[in-house]
């Protein structure tokens, strides 16, 4: 059904989406293990292509060298932040000495962060190949080319922002932007995959009138993005409590309003997706992609709720934090693809 060049793009795009979720999973592991500063510089790690395994391999006085380099990069970044109208955030970057504190060498954390970067590089190459292969649609479906090329530029911005995350010593709001940008990259790749597969195979789309379904799916998706923002705020609060020496058993009771809003949004999202599930099951055959992805969404939201309950009831274990983040990204991807599948077939 698909010409050879189009099959190559679709296959590469599918692999890209898988690798992008691996990047998010690796980032979640880095976050939950506290390995974000395992490499104090970027893109190399301790100025080496292959990072050290022992502190004896590090040059004398390396701490001050990296602190000075990060300070210069932060000053440049502060100018950018100020240019976009956030003088208070720029001032914090310039004068908050805590973001220049150096973390002691830990080989396990260093290699955890290094593997995260390797997966990120693999994702970058996948996106580059997807963009190159997309030119087969230049005359027939140019929007696929446009979005694929744009995604390469977005991932370059994401890589630069990753270096800022390191230089600012994991400043909270930058981590939030980093996560949202990751979801944007995933969303663009899913959209180009959807466009390429439905360009030739119209049977993927249903012939029913599903306008209201698509709006409901859009609301549910927007709610998920808002949840991600509040979820990162909750995580930032946890990091702050940990730095203050608050006992893990008392973290949940100290989280405050962001945690309460995050929970309310979670139950709202659960209700919306259950409604969406039954509407889709009643409208589409069980063999359709719409029905299959409705099942995937409802299973993922169930796992997400369970991981949230484990976090709340068992003092926020690290494995549940990672699971919560990974499932949230998969949930977003499945929701977004289901929303796209709600497009009515044009006859």
Burial of 209 (0-12, 13-18, 19+ CB in 10 A): exposed
**pLDDT confidence band for 344 (50 / 70 / 90):** low
Report in angstroms the alpha-carbon separations of 23 from 13, 140, 198, 236.
15, 32, 27, 20
Residue 345 has pLDDT above 60, yes or no: no
Total-model pTM: 0.88
Cα separation, 43 vs 38, in Å, equals 12
DSSP helix/strand/coil, 53: coil
Query: 118-137 pLDDT, tens per residue?
Result: 999 999 999 999 999 999 99
- The DSSP secondary-structure symbol of 40 reads S
Domain spans of the chain, in order of start: 1-200, 203-347
Q: How many CB atoms are located within 10 Å of the residue 315 CB?
A: 14
Residue of higher predicted confidence among 88 and 326 = 326
Closest CA to 261 of 237, 234, 240: 234
CATH number for the domain running over 203-347: 1.20.120
How far separated are the first and last CA of the chain, in Å rounded? Answer: 19
pLDDT digits over 205-219, tens only? Answer: 766 656 677 888 889
> What is the maximum span of the chain, computed from C-alpha positions, in angstroms?
71
For residue 156, the Cα-to-chain-centroid distance in whole angstroms is 15
Other beta carbons within 10 angstroms of residue 178's beta carbon come to 17
């Amino acid at each position: 059904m698909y010409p050879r060049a189009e099959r190559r793009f679709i296959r590469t795009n599918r692999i890209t989406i898988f690798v992008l979720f691996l990047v998010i999973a690796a980032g979640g592991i880095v976050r939950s293990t506290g390995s974000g500063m395992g490499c104090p510089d970027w893109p190399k790690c301790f100025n080496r292509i292959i990072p050290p395994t022992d502190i004896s391999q590090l040059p004398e006085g390396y701490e001050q060298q990296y602190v000075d380099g990060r300070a210069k990069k932060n000053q440049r970044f502060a100018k950018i932040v100020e240019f976009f109208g956030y003088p208070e955030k720029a001032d914090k970057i310039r004068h908050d000495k805590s973001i220049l504190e150096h973390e002691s060498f830990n080989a396990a954390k260093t290699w955890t962060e290094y593997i995260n970067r390797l997966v990120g590089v693999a994702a970058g190459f996948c996106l580059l190949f997807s963009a190159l292969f997309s030119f087969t649609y230049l005359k027939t479906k140019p929007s696929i080319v446009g979005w694929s090329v744009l995604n390469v530029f977005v991932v370059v911005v994401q890589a630069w922002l990753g270096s800022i995350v390191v230089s600012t010593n994991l400043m909270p709001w930058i981590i939030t932007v980093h996560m949202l940008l990751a979801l944007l990259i995933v969303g663009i790749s899913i959209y180009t995959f959807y466009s390429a597969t439905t360009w030739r195979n119209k049977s993927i789309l249903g012939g029913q009138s599903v306008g209201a379904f698509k709006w409901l799916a859009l609301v549910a998706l927007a709610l998920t993005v808002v949840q991600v923002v509040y979820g990162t705020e909750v995580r930032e609060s946890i990091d702050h409590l940990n730095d203050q020496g608050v006992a893990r058993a008392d973290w949940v009771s100290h989280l405050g309003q962001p945690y309460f809003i995050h929970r309310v949004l979670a139950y709202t999202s659960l209700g919306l997706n259950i409604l969406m599930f039954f509407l889709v099951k009643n409208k589409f055959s069980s063999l359709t992609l719409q029905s299959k992805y409705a099942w995937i969404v409802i299973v993922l939201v169930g796992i997400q709720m369970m991981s949230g309950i484990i976090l709340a009831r068992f003092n926020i274990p690290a494995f549940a934090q990672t699971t919560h983040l990974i499932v949230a990204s998969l949930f977003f991807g499945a929701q977004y693809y289901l929303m796209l599948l709600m497009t009515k077939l044009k006859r």
